[in-house]
Amino acid sequence: MKRKDDLVAVPRLHQDTIDEVQQRVDIVDIVSEYVVLHKRGKGYLGLCPFHNEKTPSFSVSPDKQLYYCFGCAAGGNVFKFLMEIGKQSFSEVVFDLAKRYQVPIKTLEPEQRQAIAHQISVKEQLYEIVATAANFYQHALYETQGQVALEYLTDTRKFSESTLTQFQLGYAPAGWETLYRYLVEQKRYPVNLVEQAGLIKPRSSGNGYYDVFRDRAIIPILDAQGRIIAFGGRTLKDDQPKYLNSPETPLFDKSKTLFALDKARSSITKEDRAVVVEGYLDAIALHAVGITNVVASLGTALTSYQLKQLLRYTPSKQVILNFDADQAGTQATQRAIAEIEDLVYAGVVSLRILNLPEGKDADEFLHTNQNAVEIYRKSLNDAPLWLDWQIQQLLLTQNIHTPSGLQKIAQGMIKLLNQIQDANLRNYYLSYCAELLSQGDGRLIPQNLANLRSQLTKTSLKPYFKKQQSNQSNSLNLATNPEQELLERAESLLLKIYLHCPRYRAEIIDRLEEQDFVFRLPHHRFLWQQIIQVENKEQQNLPTEDNYLLTELQNLSLTFTDQMQSVTKLFYLDQNGQEDIFRAATRIDNATATLEQVACVKQQIEYTQELNKLNPTTDLDSIETYYQKIQSLKKRIQELEQIRLASV
């Protein structure tokens, strides 16, 4: 599906542009926008954004400009990171970075250069237009025509002057063409760009345009970098809809935008949790009283993309949904959970649900009494886990004291329990649900527990969790038989030393040639072929920096994703890997001895099989030959075992 900000298709970029971007970009700067990083030795460490973890195993190396997770084996360079985080193509990532770092863009198709320059120019003009519109709305708030809106914001909503300024609140005049005339006729912005910015619409008659926002309090919507990209409007009368957002534009995708994230990011990290409310006025009200780790969705259920945005800023992945407690709010909460259930059931996020008393929203609740702020803070601390909330909803909507109600509650519990991935968590909630169904009669708990357990099915892994397991199993690629495991270790060791220790490369090649050895595991064989190709290019007067080979292989891994997935772990060094490099000479002895030993064992098995086929009365000479060969192999296998033990 084409992205909304793609005014032209992203072209194939010239290698010069890719190289220039790679030189200018600092992977630590990019990754730190998504992951909280802490200095650790020469590198940085944080919680992996690609899988759920409590202990940091995600490392970033500024020297090598690479990242790697020792938990899930995700790794790569800055291009791979952004491709995985944003689900973008290689060209899109490089293109966006080139614009960000003002790298001249060269393409393989010269005719596209003018279109690219136009695309960049258009987006910059759209940012300017919406910023100009925001200034217009702010100014109108303090004019006579904006008096009703100003009173609504200050008297009804109780927003202070500093809050109005902080959130750049404004007023859209009631006229049908007021903003149109200001932007198009006075400021001379092209009418087609003002329309693209979502500020005006063409009349159905085809004659002229009209303003999207009219006689509404205006709330600017900013992206995570603090740039205005759209607006929300709240009616001052009884008009419908009560709240109106800008249409989606090249700058604004409401499913990917969270209101006030630009102001909440640092507080979310400090508090180590994010609060999501339904409306932007609720978010503003909470920020105004000092609860600043709050964002708002924009009229849609919380999406997995928005949730992942939040998880970048909270190390322990804590998110609290504070939607209204009335029927509409409960349905919105259920929709939000359904939208992000893959992440929730897999335990990627620690999700809690806060419903305020009497169905109030956050803004209303803050005005109930003098202690409302402290009560709200305490309520955040006491908010139940999403699963407890789901179970409570079953008890609220069905009568547990009737047979049919009890049956429906039990069925709902089974449905929830079947989707929990963590066995310990599932066992805990099995006991909890059994207690609830027993209604205070302890004698019924064992029976209800047995009934619930008998109805559980093997949990089918959700796509997200399945992907994580697939990534881990693919990255290891170990067969269950000992020969395969020995090959995996030995071949990996030689490749790792070859990649990270240039001074041992000639020796490794000599050892391989002596044994006439070819990498037997397909993923290692493919990597070795890529190494040969890169080094052949390197000899053709290309760069010869120490990390040139690793850099080129990282770029190749973006092209050959499936083939390279199992070997990218070799591009990074954990503590054991650093030990291997420190003792490279003995590790080479160990690996080559292992490879020869595996070959000898295989040969011994083949000879034994052939020996067993021979007739003792007619094939005496052949029997003697095979016997001698087997004995010779046994002796060599013992010698190799001594070499392996000596080089551990």
User: Considering only 27-31, 59-63, 374-378, which range has the smallest mean pLDDT?
Assistant: 59-63
Query: From residue 339, how far is each of 279, 331, 344, 354 by CA, in Å?
Result: 18, 12, 10, 18
Q: Specify the pLDDT at position 121.
A: 67
- pLDDT over 80 at 424, yes or no: no
Average pLDDT of 256-270?
91
Contact 227, 128 (CB under 8 A): no
- pLDDT over 90 at 5, yes or no: no
Average pLDDT of 522-530?
86
Angle at 369 between CA 364 and CA 372, to 5 degrees: 70
- pLDDT over 70 at 16, yes or no: yes
User: Considering only 278-292, 336-350, 404-418, which range has the smallest mean pLDDT?
Assistant: 336-350
- The two most distant CA atoms of the chain are separated, in Å, by 117
Q: How many residues does the chain have?
A: 648
User: Considering only 176-190, 279-293, 439-453, 550-564, which range has the smallest mean pLDDT?
Assistant: 550-564
- pLDDT over 90 at 252, yes or no: yes
Q: Specify the pLDDT at position 302.
A: 86
What band does 458 get if pLDDT is binned at 50, 70 and 90? very low
Token pair 């619930």 is at which residue?
452
Alpha-carbon torsion angle 286, 291, 293, 298, nearest 10: 0
What band does 482 get if pLDDT is binned at 50, 70 and 90? low
- pLDDT over 70 at 6, yes or no: no
Q: Specify the pLDDT at position 321.
A: 94
- pLDDT over 90 at 145, yes or no: yes
Q: Specify the pLDDT at position 575.
A: 67
Contact 214, 171 (CB under 8 A): no
- pLDDT over 50 at 478, yes or no: no
Q: Which residues contact 484 (CB under 8 A, 6 or more apart)?
A: 478, 521
Q: Specify the pLDDT at position 537.
A: 67
Q: What is the pLDDT of residues 55-75, one digit of tens each?
A: 788 888 887 788 888 888 788
Q: Crossing angle for the helix pair 482-500 and 548-559, nearest 10 degrees?
A: 130
Distance CA 494, CA 591 (A): 7
Neighbours of 171 (CB within 10 A): 28
Q: What is the pLDDT of residues 238-251, one digit of tens each?
A: 888 899 999 999 89
Per DSSP, the three-state class of 544 is: coil
Contact 593, 640 (CB under 8 A): yes
Average pLDDT of 519-525?
86
Q: What is the pLDDT of residues 382-423, one digit of tens each?
A: 999 999 999 999 999 899 999 999 999 999 999 999 888 777
Q: Specify the pLDDT at position 479.
A: 35
Distance CA 396, CA 196 (A): 47
Q: DSSP secondary structure string, 396-458?
A: HHS-TTSHHHHHHHHHHHHHHHTT---HHHHHHHHHHHHHHHHTT-GGGHHHHHHHHHHH--P
Contact 66, 550 (CB under 8 A): yes
Contact 188, 204 (CB under 8 A): no
User: Considering only 30-44, 266-280, 495-509, which range has the smallest mean pLDDT?
Assistant: 30-44
Distance CA 64, CA 199 (A): 46
Q: Specify the pLDDT at position 1.
A: 37
Q: Specify the pLDDT at position 538.
A: 57
User: Considering only 129-138, 206-215, 259-268, 294-303, which range has the smallest mean pLDDT?
Assistant: 294-303
Angle at 620 between CA 616 and CA 625, to 5 degrees: 120
Most confident option among 20-24, 485-489, 623-627? 485-489
User: Considering only 98-112, 335-349, 455-469, which range has the smallest mean pLDDT?
Assistant: 455-469
DSSP H or E stretch at residue 135: helix 113-141
Rg for the chain (alpha carbons), in Å?
A: 32
Tokens linked to 227: 């740039």
534: nearest Cα among 554, 511, 506: 554
Distance CA 201, CA 176 (A): 11
Contact 94, 17 (CB under 8 A): yes
Tokens linked to 221: 């919507």
Average pLDDT of 288-315?
86
Q: Which residues contact 313 (CB under 8 A, 6 or more apart)?
A: 36, 265, 268, 269, 274
Q: Specify the pLDDT at position 616.
A: 61
Alpha-carbon torsion angle 292, 293, 296, 297, nearest 10: 170
Q: Which burial class, exposed, middle or buried, applies to 467 when counting CB atoms under 10 A from its CB (0-12, 13-18, 19+)?
A: middle
What band does 514 get if pLDDT is binned at 50, 70 and 90? confident
Token pair 């054991």 is at which residue?
576
> What is the set of domains in the chain, with CATH numbers?
15-108 (3.90.580.10), 125-252 (3.90.980.10), 388-455 (no CATH), 477-646 (no CATH)
Distance CA 453, CA 474 (A): 33
Q: Specify the pLDDT at position 263.
A: 94
Q: Which burial class, exposed, middle or buried, applies to 191 when counting CB atoms under 10 A from its CB (0-12, 13-18, 19+)?
A: middle
Tokens linked to 84: 């995985």
The residue ranking higher by pLDDT, 339 or 8, is 339
Contact 273, 265 (CB under 8 A): no
User: Considering only 37-41, 163-167, 174-178, 485-489, which range has the smallest mean pLDDT?
Assistant: 37-41
User: Considering only 177-181, 396-400, 629-633, which range has the smallest mean pLDDT?
Assistant: 629-633
Distance CA 271, CA 265 (A): 10
3-class SS letters over 276-296: EECCHHHHHHHHHCCCCCEEE
Q: Specify the pLDDT at position 542.
A: 47
Query: From residue 282, how far is each of 157, 260, 266, 291 by CA, in Å?
Result: 10, 11, 19, 11
Average pLDDT of 228-237?
95
Contact 215, 234 (CB under 8 A): no
Tell me phi and psi for residue 25, to 5 degrees. -80, 135
Tokens linked to 169: 């609140």
Mean pLDDT estimate for the chain: 82
**Strands across the sheet containing 38-40:** 38-40, 43-46, 58-61, 66-69, 75-76
Contact 555, 472 (CB under 8 A): no
- pLDDT over 80 at 471, yes or no: no
Q: Which burial class, exposed, middle or buried, applies to 354 when counting CB atoms under 10 A from its CB (0-12, 13-18, 19+)?
A: buried
The residue ranking higher by pLDDT, 111 or 131, is 131
- pLDDT over 70 at 301, yes or no: yes
The residue ranking higher by pLDDT, 191 or 21, is 191
What band does 339 get if pLDDT is binned at 50, 70 and 90? confident
Most confident option among 70-79, 174-183, 555-564, 599-608? 174-183
Q: What is the pLDDT of residues 490-511, one digit of tens each?
A: 898 999 888 888 888 888 888 8
Contact 465, 471 (CB under 8 A): no
Average pLDDT of 158-184?
96
